[in-house]
Amino acid sequence: MLFSINATFRIVTSDPYSNLPPYSFWKTGVVQENPYLIQNIYSKKFEISSTDKIATAGSCFAQHISRYLKKNGYGVLDAEPAPPGLPEALHSKFGYSMYSARYGNIYTVRQLLQLTQEVANIRDPKAFIWDKHNRFYDGLRPAVEPNGLRSPSEVVEHRAHHKLRINDLFLSFDVFIFTLGLTESWVHRDSGTVYPLAPGALIGHYDDSYHGFYNASFAEILDDFLEFESILKSLRNCLPYRIILTVSPVPLTATASGKHVLVSNTYSKAVLRAVAGYLSEHYSHIDYFPSFEIVANPRLHSSSYSHNLRTVRQESVDAVMNHFFEQHPPVLSKNIDAFIDKQYQDSLTDLQCEEALLEAFSQ
């Protein structure tokens, strides 16, 4: 009896790691790599053209991204520009020119969602008028009026104007770049209104019966972001857009979680990175840019940070943005180092970060 054998043969390598590129290994991808020019750490998912309108928002590290994009010729929107009479040196002090609108730092996705719900008229923020020394402030953006306003009604009027400008912004951008900063926040217990800063830390008054601490989970942050997108798409009548997410490398200044700040910081960054990774992996219009990984790279031995181990040094910011522009070349054909003048260099260290004020409480 004759047997016919029809077998398919394939070459088997010694192990599944044998033919992987150098960046797949810690030794060649980190230990032996130039930390200021890391090969293959970021590969863009989509193009950003010279005609694209870009909106920026997020935690204070996002201010770096916004400034570098502007200096390299990209079309960064400013839906809420400074009044003509305000000197440029005072713009950031009053919340202007930091982002694409005067919303200050948006540290959490819940803040972003809350703002979008307000613009869509499906949520009214509660208990957001704070006071100090008979001056009144918008607790949802507490640093934009450093001297406060004369009355609660003036705060309401200013917020109504702000809401209109955000609506215009949401309808006009092509690319939204958002930096995730924190999982921790403070809320108004009855309404769930989320604040960017604890009441009483800068202005306002803290009352445990009215205010509570909130530390969001992966599932909650993911749900918040997807709800934000759902409302945004409705506002835009499904006009397409793209998103670039990044995670702030700036550590927590303080934590109210009851855990050590190092543990809390690791939780916060891990959860935010996981959310950003999930969104980038599952949605074609969302990309992830690894600013956190570039700054926190162990190869740098903490030299990315100033002596306080929080403030990101200038050369590290340069490295982050050089990696970005390697994939999204500057619209202006100039080297970034030659393009940034001394005045701009000085402004880079003048970030407006309400959270950093918490450091005063540790003295």
Rg (CA), the chain: 23
Selected residue with higher pLDDT from 39 and 354: 39
> Containing H/E element for 171?
helix 152-172
Looking at the predicted structure, is the pLDDT value of residue 337 above 60?
no
pLDDT at 340 over 70: no
Q: What pLDDT shows up at residue 36?
A: 94
72/326 Cα distance (integer angstroms): 12
Q: Judge whether 14 lies within some domain.
A: no
Examine the pLDDT at 213 and tell me if it is beyond 80.
yes
pLDDT per residue over 107-158, tens digit each? 999 999 999 999 999 999 999 999 999 999 999 999 999 999 999 999 999 9
pLDDT band at 3 (very low <50, low <70, confident <90, very high): low
Q: Domain for residue 36, yes or no?
A: no
Q: pLDDT grade, residue 68 (50/70/90)?
A: very high
Cα torsion at 134, 138, 363, 92 (round to 10°)? -110
Distance CA 270, CA 255 (A): 15
Instruction: Evaluate whether residue 192 is within a structural domain.
Output: yes
Range of the domain at 77: 49-362
Split into its structural domains, the chain has a count of: 1
The more confidently predicted of residues 270 and 5 is: 270
> Could you give the CA distance from residue 96 to residue 94 in angstroms, rounded to a whole number?
6
Reference 216, options 205, 225, 206; nearest CA is 225
The per-residue pLDDT of the chain, averaged, comes to: 90
Establish if 44 belongs to a structural domain.
no
pLDDT for the residue 343: 39
By the 8 A CB rule, do 33 and 222 touch?
A: no
Q: Which residues contact 25 (CB under 8 A, 6 or more apart)?
A: 17
> pLDDT-derived band of residue 14, with 50, 70 and 90 as boundaries?
confident
Per-residue pLDDT of 252-270, as tens digits, reads 999 999 999 999 999 999 9
pLDDT score for 347: 45
Note whether residue 145 is domain-resident. yes
**Dist. CA 144–CA 128, nearest whole Å:** 14
In a domain, 223, yes or no: yes
- C-alpha to C-alpha distances, 347 to 16, 68, 92, 184, 341, nearest whole angstrom: 49, 11, 9, 28, 10
Question: How is residue 83 annotated by DSSP?
Answer: P
Task: Give the 3-state secondary structure of residue 324.
Answer: helix
Residue 13 has pLDDT above 90, yes or no: no
pLDDT value for 202: 84
Rounded to 5°, the CA angle 70-72-74 comes to 60
Higher-pLDDT residue of 315 and 14 is 315
What is the rounded (10 degree) CA torsion for 42, 112, 107, 96? 90
Classify residue 85: in a domain, yes or no: yes
Q: Is residue 3 part of a domain?
A: no
For the stretch 158-166, contacts whose Cβ atoms lie closer than 8 Å and that sit 24 or more positions apart, written own/partner, are 159/128, 162/80, 162/101, 162/102, 162/103, 162/138, 163/118, 163/119, 165/79, 165/80, 165/101, 165/102, 166/79, 166/101, 166/103, 166/115, 166/119
pLDDT, average across residues 325-351: 59
Residue 246 host element (H or E): strand 242-247
Q: Are strands 242-247 and 175-180 parallel, antiparallel or unpaired?
A: parallel
Q: Residue 345 — very low, low, confident or very high, per pLDDT cuts 50/70/90? A: very low
